[in-house]
């Protein structure tokens, strides 16, 4: 495969590029390779009928391909290649803003809730409870810093002969016999890094690196979430949820326990807004952030329990390794909730080890085995009856030769019937075939 093939293989008669043909055929993996190897203009090229690759895919009812091509065009449109300043800001992300929000909220909480004006009724138990929120929030910020600065699991790009390598050189002059490519998993091919990346990994367009067990790129931590920092990310959001529950509860207790507050709810609400402005403001901000972080924590916990990533959930019908023989969703890395959670919490990540499945049998195979078992039992019954006939033949042989011959022919006929495969069970099951030997090993014949 060479990149020159993509740029020069254009059908002059119909004006179709290879991306047009891949969209017409609905080949999502081919579209992925061509989009990564090409430019934005390739997504906007029209054929003789005036249709782009995305429009052709939609016209042929290839919805996944159409969605992928349309999304790739939007990514290119929203890219920041033409604005270096904005590109640098996108690399920084929203981590500094999140730090400022966390520091302001903690300062407001300490000033207005813990060290507020009306603290005469504060008990030691309430003080310990209120300060525990600060400690938990601080621990969460430590995890946030580690997640933001830690390597998420970057995969080294192919740097062999990089100083002599040109963009128009063959992309896969190495690793053409890679097992992933031989099995047709072209989605593991990264055009940018020029590697065949491991399964479950993905190239991050923001970091411009392939990440092992890529979950998502989080702008709030200014880093990807992958195999090596997902534990820190999960601990960060979990600790922050616990801290928000504690601090929000402490803010409510502070306003309710004020001895000068009115008895009625309406008057108490107005009184709290006027005399506990800091505590009320903190509680509103805490409540607003809590719902988003709590939902994210729940989703992450569910995915950890199933050993699946956010990227895999979003592309479950796109990745071939997540589809079973019948085309339905199947997660080969799900080893059960207990093992998935224990491996993640103890090791910090889950290994890419596929679940060992027992020899699965289709409904037709199970029915065939049951029918063969029933016939074999009947055959054993006939076999005993044949033995009786054999004894009868032996006794009759002592009396008359003619009777012996009749009994022998009867025994011979019965033995032939017993070796014959029952009707309906011999399709594809030759006498010495592997399938027949497999079934005979399973049955007490």
Tens of pLDDT along 358-407? Answer: 544 444 444 554 555 554 555 544 444 444 444 444 444 444 444 444 44
Q: Determine the pLDDT at residue 100.
A: 94
Measured on CA atoms in the order 76, 82, 85, 91, is the torsion positive or negative? positive
Q: Determine the pLDDT at residue 326.
A: 80
Among all residues, which ones are annotated catalytic?
218
Q: Determine the pLDDT at residue 191.
A: 72
How far apart CA 235 and CA 225 sit, in angstroms, is 12
The alpha carbon of 165 is separated from its chain's Cα centroid by a whole number of angstroms, namely: 34
Q: Determine the pLDDT at residue 387.
A: 45
H runs (alpha helix) in 38-117: 40-44, 53-59, 63-77, 84-92, 95-109
* Strand, helix or coil for residue 216: strand
Token digits of residue 217: 């790129």
Contact status, residue 223 vs residue 152, Cβ threshold 8 Å? yes
- 111: which DSSP letter? I
Token digits of residue 202: 């993905």
Token digits of residue 353: 């080890």
How far apart CA 362 and CA 373 sit, in angstroms, is 17
Domain ranges of the chain: 3-78, 92-357, 363-442
Best CA proximity match to 51, nearest among 22, 77, 28, 20: 20
Q: Determine the pLDDT at residue 341.
A: 95
Residue 411: CB atoms within 10 A of its CB come to 16
Domain topology for 3-78 = 1.25.40
Only one residue has tokens 């019908």, namely: 317
Contact status, residue 219 vs residue 148, Cβ threshold 8 Å? no
Q: Determine the pLDDT at residue 186.
A: 65
Only one residue has tokens 């016999």, namely: 177
How far apart CA 129 and CA 250 sit, in angstroms, is 8
How far apart CA 54 and CA 190 sit, in angstroms, is 22
Query: How, if at all, do strands 195-196 and 189-190 pair?
Result: antiparallel
Paired residues of 218 in beta bridges: 223
Task: Collect the ranges in the chain with pLDDT lower than 50.
Answer: 1-8, 10, 80-82, 161-163, 167, 171-172, 359-366, 369, 375, 380-436, 438-445
């Amino acid at each position: 495969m060479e990149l020159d093939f993509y740029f020069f293989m254009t059908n002059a008669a119909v004006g179709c590029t290879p991306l047009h043909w891949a969209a017409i055929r609905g080949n999502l993996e081919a579209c992925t390779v061509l989009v990564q190897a090409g430019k934005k203009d390739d997504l906007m090229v029209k054929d003789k009928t005036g249709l782009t690759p995305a429009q052709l895919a939609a016209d042929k009812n290839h919805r996944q391909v159409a969605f992928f091509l349309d999304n790739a065009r939007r990514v290119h449109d929203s890219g920041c290649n033409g604005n270096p300043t904005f590109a640098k800001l996108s690399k920084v992300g929203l981590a500094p803003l999140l730090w400022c929000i966390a520091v302001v909220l903690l300062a407001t909480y300490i000033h207005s809730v813990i060290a507020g004006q009306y603290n005469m009724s504060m008990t030691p138990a309430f003080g310990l409870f209120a300060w525990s929120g600060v400690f938990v929030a601080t621990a969460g910020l430590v995890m946030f810093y580690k997640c933001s600065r830690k390597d998420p699991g970057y995969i080294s790009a192919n740097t062999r002969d990089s100083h002599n390598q040109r963009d128009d050189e063959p992309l896969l002059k190495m690793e053409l016999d890679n097992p992933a490519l031989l099995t047709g998993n072209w989605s593991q091919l990264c055009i940018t890094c020029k590697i065949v990346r491991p399964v479950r990994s993905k190239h991050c367009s923001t970091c411009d690196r392939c990440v092992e067990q890529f979950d998502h790129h989080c702008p709030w931590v200014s880093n990807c979430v992958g195999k090596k920092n997902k534990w820190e990310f999960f601990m960060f959001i979990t600790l922050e949820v616990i801290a928000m529950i504690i601090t929000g509860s402490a803010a409510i207790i502070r306003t309710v326990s004020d001895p000068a507050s009115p008895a009625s709810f309406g008057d108490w609400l107005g009184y709290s807004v006027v005399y506990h402005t800091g505590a009320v403001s903190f509680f509103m901000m805490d409540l607003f952030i809590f719902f988003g972080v709590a939902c994210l924590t729940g989703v992450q916990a569910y995915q950890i329990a199933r050993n699946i990533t956010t990227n895999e959930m979003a592309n479950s019908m796109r990745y071939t390794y997540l589809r079973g023989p019948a085309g339905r969703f199947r997660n080969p890395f799900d080893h059960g909730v207990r093992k998935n959670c224990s491996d993640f919490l103890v090791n910090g990540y889950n290994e890419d080890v596929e679940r060992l499945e027992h020899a699965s049998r289709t409904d037709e195979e199970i029915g065939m085995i049951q029918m063969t078992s029933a016939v074999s039992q009947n055959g054993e019954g006939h076999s005993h009856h044949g033995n009786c006939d054999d004894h009868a033949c032996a006794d009759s042989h002592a009396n008359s030769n003619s009777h012996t011959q009749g009994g022998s022919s009867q025994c011979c006929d019965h033995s032939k019937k017993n070796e014959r495969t029952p009707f309906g069970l011999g399709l594809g099951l030759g006498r010495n075939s592997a399938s027949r030997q497999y079934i005979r090993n399973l049955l007490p014949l």
